[in-house]
Structure 1
């Protein structure tokens, strides 16, 4: 039997893809067993000619089974 858990993360970047990749790359640093993700929200900011995208991403992963004792 497996148990899955989800966490919501926010990534930023120069494109939507960069923002999603940033969120997933950071998640990989501390989570094992990532199985999927879902983009929940896309937003952005404009500062003159610069545009920055912000995405909220729900990342699903499998909880590891560890023996105690």
Structure 2
């Protein structure tokens, strides 16, 4: 048990530092917006009932089940 707690704390700190490293530039956001428009992502990711964009709502039948 004595070795478990320090290992747990060390792993938690390691993951929190890694998560904070995510910096987003305006160029990256513009690129994502461009790709979402080019791929017509809104067609499948819009709720059919409320019309809210990127809210899901379209069931897709696949060989492994409904997504």
Shared fold per TM-score greater than 0.5: no
Q: State the TM-score, normalized to the length of structure 1.
A: 0.22
CA radius of gyration, larger in: 2
Structure with higher helix content: 2
Structure with higher strand content: 1
